[in-house]
Amino acid sequence: MYAYDQYDQAMVDARVAEFRDQCERRLAGKLTEDQFKPLRLMNGLYLQLHAYMLRVAIPYGTLNGGQMRVLADIAEKYDRGYGHFTTRQNIQYNWIKLEDAGDILADLAKVEMHAIQTSGNCIRNISSDHFAGAAADEVADPRPYAELLRQWSSFHPEFSYLPRKFKICVIASENDRAAMRLHDIGIRIVERDGELGAQFYVGGGMGRTPMIAPLIRDFVPLDQLVTYSEACLRVYNRYGRRDNKYKARIKILVHELGAEEYTRQVEEEFAHLLDQGVEPPLAELERIKGFFPDPAFDAADAEPDRSDPDFAVWLDHNTHAHKMPGHVSAIVSLKPVGGIPGDATDAQMRVLADLAEKYSFDELRIMHTQNVVLPHVSKADLYALWQALNEAGMGTPNADLMGDIIACPGLDYCSLANARSIPIAQRISERFAAKGKEAALGELKLKISGCINACGHHHAGHIGILGVDRKGTENYQLLLGGSEAEDTSLAKITGPGFDEHGIVDAVETAADVYLRERTEGERFLDTYRRIGMAPFKEALYD
């Protein structure tokens, strides 16, 4: 894992001091709320319905046991004993007091963590593949590139007042586990003729106008990564729309100019910037790579004993192939039946910290699906790990199944919400668990947003649910056919919405259509793509 040197630490410490000063000036009335707002947002502090929410960055979703313990301590000391892991691989605390914010940031800084640029119209926390450095299908570990860009984008003087927020994702596999093409910039590290470089996809996003990012450059050499990113951002900063905040994301600029014209402008700016000396030397990338060595794996390759049937089910659903024989990545479900997706208590976080130290070379990952990964587990340890997870309520064997629901905070917390998301997720999870249909359905990605902003990725759900306001009551639209994976697609609305009970039935109806229509080996998404919307509509509305 990356470790701060004296420079990184000094920067984060300075940020804590700066934010303390800003909070004091706000409390002393020297800053208006309008002036304070963008400053607190650049430190991850949102004002929600009931309290302040603090979003803490987990760069590319990677953290160690000691860091997880501090996240647990913050949940215990400053919140109500839990935290919420988000689709952007961060953690949020929902019940924070402004007076405590400075102290929390200071606690985080002690373990090389921060909340810098986790909100605001700036370059946000960079996301990545949760199996980075562990998956068998990668050409490289994408995290050193993400770290290089993290440093470049931190306190960037030119790009801190962009038209809108800006999200970058870096992966290094043909298989996309990070919704790469739904980011403002999606970068895929690729190999061409034995040489590593980066594909740049620009202008993807969700929100009210979902778009899949087009490829604008197939190969950026590794010693031009920062310069190319800078060119992409400068064209956006200068020409992105500022007249309408709903049209301010880079996806709209790329769409309105056309990918070709946007690319032309980027290439022109890039050619100019190449002479400006903005690129760190390759030695810096090598230095960063040095922090991501392979752990000292044990060579033994014993298959785990599958005689406990419950364990076998968990093995089948919640482990992922590792590049090292004898190892897997284990998915820790934060989706117990009827639970709040992505929530973890302080006690659970401490268990995760212990288990990471004991079984996974002191590493944890946060997934965009709001679960946690122990990336490097020896097969010999899996049974003991599973037992410990079960004891802590984190052994639900439902990765990528119906119960593994992504849900945004919705009307329970969020001031922008039209409808609640969490209770809908809870009812659906309970319904399918009670009927025992989940396993038969297989891979099925259900994603719920409480409003059009799409924090719950509903556009990218095999089944998506969107909360809308219908004459003052909560109403839910059903969407089908989205995917955030390498076969990226956007889901389509089935028709009129449903009330909070009706939507649970509607999801079941759609699932039943799939069970009836599917052919051997087809996932829900495959069946939908083959048979189209009509049979689902018929079952839902006739």
Partner 1 sequence: MTEQAPLRLREDEACMEPAVTLEAFAGQTNAVAVRIEPGEDTRELLPHLDRLRRIDIAFPAFTDGRGYSAARILREAGFAGELRAVGDVLVDQIAYMRRCGFDAFDPDAPLDPKDVEAALNRFPQVYQSAADASTPIWSLRHQ
- The contact set with ligand SF4 (CB under 6 A) reads 408-410, 414, 416-417, 449-451, 453-456
Q: State the Cα–Cα distance between residues 291 and 145, nearest whole angstrom.
A: 12
Which residues, including other chains, have CB under 8 Å from residue 271's CB and lie 6 or more apart? none
Residue closer to ligand SF4, measured from CB, 405 or 441: 405
Q: State the Cα–Cα distance between residues 64 and 331, nearest whole angstrom.
A: 16
Residue closer to ligand HEM, measured from CB, 55 or 350: 55
**String of contacts with ligand HEM for each residue 88-107, x by CB under 6 A:** x---x---------------
Q: Which of 11, 196, 313, 380 binds partner 1 (CB under 8 A)?
A: 11
Do residues 450 and 417 lie in contact, with contact meaning Cβ atoms separated by under 8 Å? yes
Do residues 139 and 196 lie in contact, with contact meaning Cβ atoms separated by under 8 Å? yes
DSSP 8-state class, residue 279: S
Show contacts with ligand HEM in window 198-227 (CB under 6 A): 205-207
Q: How far, in whole angstroms, is CA 115 from its chain's centroid?
A: 15
Show contacts with partner 1 in window 13-42 (CB under 8 A): 14-15, 17-18, 21-22, 25, 35, 38-39
How far apart are CB 219 and partner 1 at their closest, in Å? 23
How far apart are CB 163 and ligand HEM at their closest, in Å? 9
How far apart are CB 256 and ligand HEM at their closest, in Å? 15
Question: Which among 268-276, 309-317, 412-420, 511-519 is the span making contact with ligand HEM, rule CB under 6 A?
Answer: 412-420
Q: Which of 232, 252, 414, 540 binds ligand HEM (CB under 6 A)?
A: 414
Question: Which among 83-91, 98-106, 192-200, 287-295 is the span making contact with ligand HEM, rule CB under 6 A?
Answer: 83-91
Which pairing describes strands 185-192 and 168-171: parallel, antiparallel, or unpaired? parallel
Size of residue set near ligand HEM by CB under 6 A: 20
Residue 440: which of ligand SF4, ligand HEM, partner 1, none does it interact with, CB under 5 to 8 A by kind? Answer: none
Residue 409 is a binding residue for ligand HEM (CB under 6 A): yes
Q: State the Cα–Cα distance between residues 503 and 472, nearest whole angstrom.
A: 17
Alpha helical stretches, state H, 247-301: 250-257, 259-273, 282-289
Q: What beta strand segments (E) does 111-261 contain?
A: 127-128, 168-171, 185-192, 195-202, 215-221
Question: Which among 25-33, 58-66, 392-400, 406-414 is the span making contact with ligand HEM, rule CB under 6 A?
Answer: 406-414
Q: Cα 187–193–199 angle (5° rounding)?
A: 15
- SS3 of the chain: helix, strand, coil, percent, to 5: 40, 20, 40
Q: Which of 117, 119, 121, 333 binds partner 1 (CB under 8 A)?
A: 121
What are the distances in angstroms from CA 169 to CA 107, 117, 293?
Answer: 27, 15, 21
Do residues 225 and 149 lie in contact, with contact meaning Cβ atoms separated by under 8 Å? yes
Q: Which of 131, 159, 413, 528 binds ligand HEM (CB under 6 A)?
A: 413
Q: State the Cα–Cα distance between residues 307 and 360, nearest whole angstrom.
A: 24
Residue 46 is a binding residue for ligand HEM (CB under 6 A): yes
How far apart are CB 143 and partner 1 at their closest, in Å? 17
Q: State the Cα–Cα distance between residues 501 and 135, nearest whole angstrom.
A: 40
How far apart are CB 485 and ligand HEM at their closest, in Å? 15
How far apart are CB 449 and ligand SF4 at their closest, in Å? 4
Q: Which of 98, 222, 337, 416 binds ligand HEM (CB under 6 A)?
A: 416
Which pairing describes strands 364-366 and 185-192: parallel, antiparallel, or unpaired? unpaired
Q: State the Cα–Cα distance between residues 105 and 13, nearest whole angstrom.
A: 9
Binding site for partner 1 (CB under 8 A): 5, 7-8, 10-11, 14-15, 17-18, 21-22, 25, 35, 38-39, 121, 151-152, 154-163, 226, 234, 237-238, 242, 272, 276-278, 280-281, 283-284, 287
Binding site for ligand HEM (CB under 6 A): 46, 48, 53, 86-88, 92, 164, 205-207, 249, 408-409, 413-414, 416, 453-455
